[in-house]
Amino acid sequence: MLKYIGKRLVIGALTLLILSTITFFGVRAMPGDPFSQDNKVIAPETFEAMKAKFHLDKSLPEQYVIFLSNAIRGDFGESISKKGKQVSDIIALRFPVTAKLGAIAFCFSMVMGLALGIVSALAKHRWVNSLITVVSTLGVSLPNFLFAIMIMILFAVKLGWLPIVGLNGPQYYILPVAALSLGPIASVTRLTRSSIRDVMHEDYITLSRSKGNKEARTIIVHGLKNALLPVITYAGPLFAGMITGSLVIETLFSVPGIGAEFTNSITNRDYTLVMGLTILFGVLVIIMNLISDIVAAIVDPRIKLGK
């Protein structure tokens, strides 16, 4: 196990290096400069001073070496567009907001998806299974921003039951969590249902039935453990994606999170902030994929991580 974790961490570090390298040269290849936004006219002396401050007066290889040496220490420098603010401070301020919203949406998605998947597998009435199939298909097909607009109009504008701006209390989380969770719930439902149906033909399921166990007990106690493996594999990157935010959902509900910061940093050519957020997202995806693999091996001992 430790050997496998070490190997994955080395691969993750190399992946992160490649990701940061591509992003570093990619953002600098964009036309324009980060100091002349909104048609502002900058004096030549000020422009040169700003370039020197962020090492943009040096060659690209020199800039890259400076970036790597600072990034290894966790220092991403000052944001170009948000003068006087360190990238680490911006992340520390914005990321917890997005992470809390994403974590709530993730937990809700997993609980609802597993429940609907189990119900669909157990359903004796065809209409129940058909209804869940239709709902899960719509969930996969319907863009979350369109669903968000629909529930905003219904529950906030027409009925006036729920607020839609900010995250100032528990009731403010309901609509954005619902919008973020639609697609994941549908995917988890479909994965759970198909996995349970696959394991229902295994010998240990037949043995459990032969002992007179009820169908629900057979599925939940004996079938669900093995059926969860695809869901666990899916859950790792899903969690990483949800806690790093959704630009559209955060914009629609005026959530002061990290998703909007990432898009604004690209628009403003804020090289330092783009690099800091890219590395944050990369680290989260790598860690969550590793955790999902370890959890899958714990659930099913047949999975040998060392191989």
* DSSP state, residue 86: B
* DSSP state, residue 30: S
Helix (H, G, I), strand (E, B) or coil at 131: helix
Structure tokens at 293: 């693999």
Topology at the third CATH level for domain 95-264: MetI-like fold (1.10.3720)
Confidence grade of residue 122 (pLDDT, cut at 50, 70, 90):
confident
Q: Identify the pLDDT of residue 303.
A: 59
pLDDT in tens, 233-261: 888 888 888 877 677 888 888 888 887 78
Q: Identify the pLDDT of residue 22.
A: 92
Q: Which helix (H) or strand (E) holds 248?
A: helix 247-252
pTM score, whole prediction: 0.79
Residue boundaries of the structural domains of the chain: 95-264
DSSP characters over 194-239: HHHHHHTTSHHHHHHHHTT--HHHIIIIIIHHHHHHHHHHHHHHHH
CA distance from start to end of the chain: 10
Using CB atoms within 10 Å of the CB of residue 122, give its burial: 0 to 12 exposed, 13 to 18 middle, 19+ buried: middle
Least confident interval from 109-113, 124-128, 214-218: 214-218
pLDDT at 38 over 60: no
Residues forming beta bridges with residue 78, ordered by sequence position:
86
**Distance between CA atoms of residues 73 and 85, nearest Å:** 18
Q: What is the average pLDDT score of the chain?
A: 82
**Which residues are CB-contacts of 290 (< 8 A; sequence separation ≥ 6)?**
5, 8, 9, 12, 236
pLDDT at 307 over 80: no
Q: Which helix (H) or strand (E) holds 43?
A: none
